[in-house]
């Protein structure tokens, strides 16, 4: 069993940061400089939305650290969590587009430092630091996204009648389906939690999908309940599809899935079934 961890969506925060950066530029730059700065901000936005992902998705990182998923996610201190690309540790080259983003932030920061109003300067410096962190997180997110996409492609390519891709997630708590529901229609549903498990596998070279909905009347959606649902669904899958012996596990990055012991507990539960 292999685990594919999900990702949190940080793109919206990055887009907001670029909007805030453009608003900041409108406040501190003269019209003669503003046009050029605005063009650089829009260029950086286009690169983060499309260009960076294309660079990270290419077959070779060309020795650029900010384009190499293997270099980015490897732990230099632990050989078990390290994978070496063709350039090994020689990632000394710099991407001009990536560097332009941080040079732009540095240029704007120097402009802010020349502002005489100290309170206004402190406020802008704080906002600029938040923008810097958001854009850096966006770039990290892109690299993780590329790595996860590659893992999904690999998992799907390995699907057989014995190997499945298991996607799992907690849905939102059950809510009314109408603007106004009578007490009888909604009675008993308040507070219920819904867990969804989707299995993809092949049967006679045809892709098959099996969906399991598990409803819990009272649940904090924590580790204990998540593992209980896993055991319940796994037993049902074994009954319905006894040929399935291996699975790739896919989930988001919620706490109930990303705890250190969760994967090990999953393995122990599935081995007993």
Q: Is the pLDDT of residue 110 over 70?
A: yes
Q: Please give the average per-residue pLDDT across 231-243, as a whole number.
A: 92
Q: Please give the average per-residue pLDDT across 37-60, as a whole number.
A: 89
**Which among 99, 132, 153 is the end of a domain?**
153
Q: Structural domain of residue 104, as residue ranges?
A: 8-153
Spatial neighbors of 246 by CB under 8 A, at least 6 apart, are 1, 162, 163, 164
Q: Is residue 264 a part of any domain in this protein?
A: no
Q: Is the pLDDT of residue 3 over 50?
A: no
Choose the most confident range, by mean pLDDT, from 111-125, 221-235, 248-262.
111-125
Q: Is residue 114 a part of any domain in this protein?
A: yes
Distance CA 191, CA 171 (A): 12
Do residues 18 and 88 share a domain?
yes
Q: Please give the average per-residue pLDDT across 113-133, as a whole number.
A: 94
Q: Is residue 272 a part of any domain in this protein?
A: no
Q: Return the CATH number at 219.
A: 3.30.420
Say if strands 163-170 and 246-250 run parallel, antiparallel, or are unpaired: parallel
Do residues 192 and 105 share a domain?
no
Cα angle, residue 110 at apex, residues 106 and 113 outer, rounded to 5°: 135
- Give me the count of residues in the chain: 273
CA-CA distances (angstroms) from residue 116 to 28, 30, 111, 263? 12, 16, 11, 55
Q: Please give the average per-residue pLDDT across 125-148, as a whole number.
A: 92
Number of domains forming the structure of the chain: 2
Q: Bridge-partner residues for 167, per DSSP?
A: 198, 250
Q: Is residue 268 a part of any domain in this protein?
A: no
Do residues 13 and 108 share a domain?
yes
Element (H, E) at 34: helix 31-46
**Which among 153, 177, 211 is the end of a domain?**
153
Q: Is residue 23 a part of any domain in this protein?
A: yes
Q: Is the pLDDT of residue 183 over 60?
A: no
Q: Regarding predicted confidence, which is higher, 229 or 182?
A: 229
pLDDT bin (cut points 50, 70, 90) of residue 1 is: very low
Residue 117: predicted pLDDT: 93
Residue 213: predicted pLDDT: 92
Segment 5-34, tens digit of pLDDT: 444 568 888 899 999 999 999 999 999 899
**What is the rounded average pLDDT for all residues in the chain?**
84
Distance CA 262, CA 227 (A): 8
Q: Is the pLDDT of residue 87 over 70?
A: no
Q: Is the pLDDT of residue 176 over 70?
A: no
């Amino acid at each position: 069993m292999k685990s594919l961890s999900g990702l949190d969506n940080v793109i919206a925060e990055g887009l907001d940061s670029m909007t805030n950066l453009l608003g900041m530029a409108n406040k501190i730059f003269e019209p003669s400089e503003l046009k050029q700065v605005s063009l650089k901000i829009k260029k950086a936005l286009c690169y983060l939305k499309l260009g960076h992902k294309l660079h990270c998705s290419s077959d070779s990182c060309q020795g650029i650290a900010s384009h190499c998923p293997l270099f980015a996610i490897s732990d230099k201190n632990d050989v078990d969590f390290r994978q070496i690309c063709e350039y090994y540790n020689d990632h000394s080259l710099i991407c001009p587009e990536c560097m332009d983003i941080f040079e732009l932030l540095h240029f704007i920061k120097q402009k802010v430092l020349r502002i005489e109003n100290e309170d206004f300067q402190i406020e802008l410096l704080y906002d600029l630091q938040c923008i810097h962190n958001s854009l850096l997180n966006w770039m990290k997110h892109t690299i993780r996204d590329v790595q996860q996409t590659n893992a999904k492609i690999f998992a799907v390519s390995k699907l057989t009648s014995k190997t499945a891709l298991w996607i799992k997630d907690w849905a939102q708590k059950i809510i009314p389906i109408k603007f106004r529901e009578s007490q009888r229609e909604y009675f008993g549903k308040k507070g219920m939690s819904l867990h969804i498990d989707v299995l993809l596998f092949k049967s006679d070279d045809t892709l098959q999908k099996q969906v399991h909905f598990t409803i819990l009347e009272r649940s904090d959606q924590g580790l204990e309940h998540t593992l209980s649902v896993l055991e319940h669904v796994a037993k049902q899958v074994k009954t319905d599809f006894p040929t399935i012996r291996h699975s790739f596990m896919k989930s988001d990055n919620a706490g109930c899935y990303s705890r250190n012991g969760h994967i090990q507990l999953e393995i122990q539960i599935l081995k007993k079934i």
